[in-house]
Chains A and B, each alone.
Chain A
Amino acid sequence: MGTLGGLVILCTGLWIATPHFVTASNLVNVVQQSTIIGVIAVGMTFVILTGGIDLSVGSIVALAGITFGTLVQANVPLPLAAAGALIAGTLCGAVNGALVTIGRLPPFIATLGMMSVARGIALMLSDGRPISGFPAGFRSLATGTVAGIPAPVIIMLALYGAAHFVLTRVRLGRYTYAIGGNEEATALSGVNVRAYKTIVYCISGFVSALTSLLLVARLNSAQPIAGISYELDAIAAVVIGGTSLLGGSGSVVGTLIGALIMSVLRNGLNLLGVSSYVQQVAIGTVIVVAVLVDMALRQRASLPTG
């Protein structure tokens, strides 16, 4: 649990460095800031655990948001519009999955294609313009609180709880690890690897669409250019969280910590008045150092085989 240690050290450092970090409102703010990438990173964790990658998540955020906005504008009831957005995102994931399993494309290529296609469709549907003005009831998805905790944070934590349960206790999760650990051995054990890999890309598409709803609620606007470079932030959260890009090992708990580390770092650097240019350097450095430390810890823990 090197990542948790990293988060603790980071928070302690900021606590000492600035009085503004540890205040109730700022801490809530930090967690709230992490929800967008945090939710996407759940799906990304599944995909990366199978040894894949999903570059299309940011574009799916845009497409699902625009789908939602378009449906709302056409006076479709809110729940149905939301369902439409979630279906659109899941379908994009299904296409990714089919390209990877049936088309045998490397996940990088398949989702790179989807990244461009989904973005393009979002721009086509919206004619490049944002869709604004949503009912207050819907916006409470972002602005509402339960017992003082913002709704997006509750949604994110519930999602992480569910994902953790699935990965550790449910068959789908166990196959996810097995496929990433050794796809051939898993197939030869009679597991329908193609189906499970497709499901994993569907999950990624679904949570991206869920993110789009949170984002639209927060901005009160669905934008075709939303979610740009979210895929990189999500991959960074997963990797900082200790999940191997080769697949087969890692956890969503790690990913949550990874997402929090990125959020705390951005928040802390803002509080310290560090320029956004320097922030990029700092975040890049953290990604690299986190993975270096993680690899060193793993190496020390491993035993010889001979």
Chain B
Amino acid sequence: MTTTNGDTAAKTAILRMEGIRKEFPGVVALDGVDLDVRRGEVHVLLGENGAGKSTLMKILSGAYTKDAGRVWIDGMETDISGPRMARELGVGIIYQELTLIPELSAAENVYLGREPRRLRTVVDRSRMIADTRRILNDLGADVPPAAPTRTLSLAQRQLVEIAKALSLEPRILVMDEPTSALTTRETQSLFAAIRRLTARGVAIIYISHRLDEIFEIGDRVTVLRDGRHVSTHTVRSADRRELVRLMANRELDEGISGGTTVRGSELLRVENLTRQGALENVSFSVHAGEIVGIAGLLGAGRTELARVIFGADNADGGRIFVRGKLQNIKSPRDAVRLGIGFLTEDRKAQGLVLGRSVRDNIALPVLRRLSRLGVVRRSEEVALAESYVRDLRIRTPSTSQLALHLSGGNQQKVVLAKWLGCKADILFLDEPTRGIDVGAKQEIYALINKLAASGVGIVMISSELPEVVGLSDRVLVMRGGKIVGEFNRAEATQERLLACAVGA
């Protein structure tokens, strides 16, 4: 290791990465990327999916080794050889996917593998719990440290994940989309925790797709595109449109708007749908060509509503009419047959068979139609997949590419293609743009509008209020398993919906 004398900027810099290059077979993931991060700042990494943000952070945390480039931490050039070394150098990372063990308590998860011990043998449980409680309190997190993690909410688990990273007292903390599962209030307490950390001199590298957050919490922002460094600005001098343009290299109208709606006949009507502990007397209807938004906080029963109508869970009471006829939907199979599609919230766990090709995934719900005497007609299958890849502009080298290798936005388009291929005309979309970059979001919005215009009835569940307000013809607000408000396009404002959702 050698010490280099930095210039004035480098004196306040805790991390400098220069000319970082990383290749994977057939892909240059990073091509000469520079990044410098200062003590006590929140440095935002911005870029579309596939821009190289995660790869760069994996090199910093020792999960990948770089092919070329140099890294300095605290002015000292280092060659990070593995996760352990990164940890010793004070690099902490919170991955987007949660890594907690559900049966262990928060405290056990936080100290997993380095439990405090008495006499070097027995785990000192009380100290472990006390230390975890202290870290969680510092975070302003309301999480019981001794309860099994599986009993915690998604947001609480996210906070435990953050506590785990903090327990190592990192000097540089990487956060990959930390708020994607958090409510507004929880996001605010996370931001407060971030401010306390930066005040102590910890540098935060913050990856997010949400521009609003960047302006709220960020100090500087570095934009990556196609594995290259595009620019670094102070957030105060940055302009929202300019950032979007730099990321995508094209002008985008960040505003969202619904199409003009011609409301057709009633496709779906639900009466007094009830499921113990999840739904209570839910009634609503959807017409052809209509986009019905469903707003509400996490746990308000929105996903549950879609699952019950789709037959994935059973109802305890209530009636479902499809095109005016009473139906008894017992399984997803029944729902698919009736022309109901369900784009699930978690596309990796519930939407796609990741290890299979784009073509296999698109054809999965319609194999019966594509086959004769059980034998799948390959030419028809290929034609179907290719037509959707073209129509939805799914970016993939071919339809035989594994779904695993597509970016989030393109994966979501594959799930949409599945339901379009089924000719579903009642479509439930649960968080259709979660974890998708700005450019792809616009494309999904345009698709949703196009579908509605073609006569599909759409129920869109979303936690992104601008999206709900912008796209919906009508918005239903759920709270505690009930529909507590209905707003038409003119009435639906973010403030009103939020007030209704929290019960203010």
Contacts and interface: CB of A to CB of B under 8 A. Distances in A.
A186 B312 CA distance: 12
A252 to B, nearest CB: 17
Contact of B333 (A170, A172, A191, A305): A191
B336 A189 contact: yes
A191 B336 CA distance: 9
A181 B361 CA distance: 11
Contact of B25 (A172, A182, A187, A303): A303
B349 A184 contact: yes
B54 A171 contact: no
B53 A306 contact: yes
Contacts of B405: 303, 305
B332 to A, nearest CB: 5
B374 A188 contact: no
A265 to B, nearest CB: 30
Interface string B317-335: 0000000000000011101
Interface stretch (B11-19, B293-301, B350-358): B350-358
A146 interface: no
B353 A182 contact: yes
Contact of A174 (B49, B350, B360): B360
A190 B356 contact: no
Contacts of A185: 344, 349-353
Interface in B1-49: 24-27, 29, 49
Contact-size category for B = 35 or more
B355 A181 contact: yes
B332 A189 contact: yes
B371 interface: yes
A182 B364 CA distance: 12
A192 B364 CA distance: 12
A177 B375 CA distance: 15
Given A185-B351, A304-B24, A190 B29 contact: no
Contact of A178 (B55, B344, B353, B376): B353
A181 B355 CA distance: 6
Contacts of A186: 353, 364
Nearest to B406: A305
B310 interface: yes
B335 A178 contact: no
A71 to B, nearest CB: 31
B206 to A, nearest CB: 16
Interface in B412-427: 418, 422
B25 A170 contact: no
Contacts of A181: 353-356
A301 interface: yes
Interface of A: 169-172, 174-175, 177-178, 181-182, 184-192, 248-249, 300-306
Given A189-B418, A302-B404, 7 more contacts: A171-B368, A184-B349, A185-B344, A185-B353, A186-B353, A188-B332, A189-B365
21 contacts: A170-B375, A170-B376, A171-B367, A171-B374, A171-B376, A172-B374, A174-B367, A174-B376, A182-B349, A182-B352, A182-B354, A185-B344, A185-B352, A187-B312, A188-B350, A189-B365, A190-B332, A190-B336, A249-B355, A304-B24, A306-B50
Interface of B: 24-27, 29, 49-50, 53-55, 58, 64, 310, 312, 331-333, 335-337, 342, 344, 349-356, 360, 363-365, 367-368, 371, 374-376, 378, 404-405, 418, 422
